[in-house]
């Protein structure tokens, strides 16, 4: 049981390049989330998917798109990377059957945009 996995672990991009961050969970959870972590700002929600087939914007969605490919997988895409998107990105999942279930986090992707 791997929990939440993310790929890649590290990535360096040049301004304007695109990339997709992959996330998968094997806990049969309904809900999945993408956060970014920046120094002094905690974690901020980018997008989330309450259930398969649905996605919604979080606090900081600009410059990102997401795809809930199936119940297991939730990807985050940067179409044209900017230095302001340098951050650590975390994917999380939860069962959400009672609205306040624990979120389980992946190990993160450290992204640098030059």
Q: Which chain residues interact with another protein by CB under 8 A?
A: 4, 31, 33, 40-45, 48, 50, 56, 58, 90, 92, 94, 96, 99-108
- CB 17 to another protein: min, Å: 25
Rounded Cα distance, 60 and 57, in Å:
8
Nearer to another protein, 11 or 104 (CB): 104
- The Cβ-side half-sphere exposure at 109, using a 13 Å CA radius, reads 28
Residues in the chain: 114
- CB 40 to another protein: min, Å: 6
- CB 91 to another protein: min, Å: 9
Nearer to another protein, 13 or 48 (CB): 48
Instruction: Note whether 91 and 73 are within 8 A (CB).
Output: no
In angstroms, the Cα distances linking 61 to 11, 66, 76, 85, 102 are 20, 10, 10, 11, 23
Nearer to another protein, 56 or 79 (CB): 56
- CB 55 to another protein: min, Å: 11
Structure tokens at 16: 């304007």
Instruction: Note whether 79 and 85 are within 8 A (CB).
Output: no
Nearer to another protein, 6 or 85 (CB): 6
């Amino acid at each position: 049981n791997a929990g939440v996995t993310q790929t890649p672990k590290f990535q360096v991009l040049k301004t304007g390049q695109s990339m997709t961050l992959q996330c998968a969970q094997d806990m049969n959870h309904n809900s999945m989330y993408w956060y970014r972590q920046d120094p002094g700002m905690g974690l901020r929600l980018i997008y989330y998917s309450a259930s398969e087939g649905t996605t919604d914007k979080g606090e900081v969605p600009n410059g990102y798109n997401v795809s809930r490919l199936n119940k297991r997988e939730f990807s985050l895409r940067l179409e044209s990377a900017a230095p302001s998107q340098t951050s650590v990105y975390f994917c999380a999942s939860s069962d959400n059957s009672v609205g306040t279930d624990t979120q389980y986090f992946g190990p993160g992707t450290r992204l640098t945009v030059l």
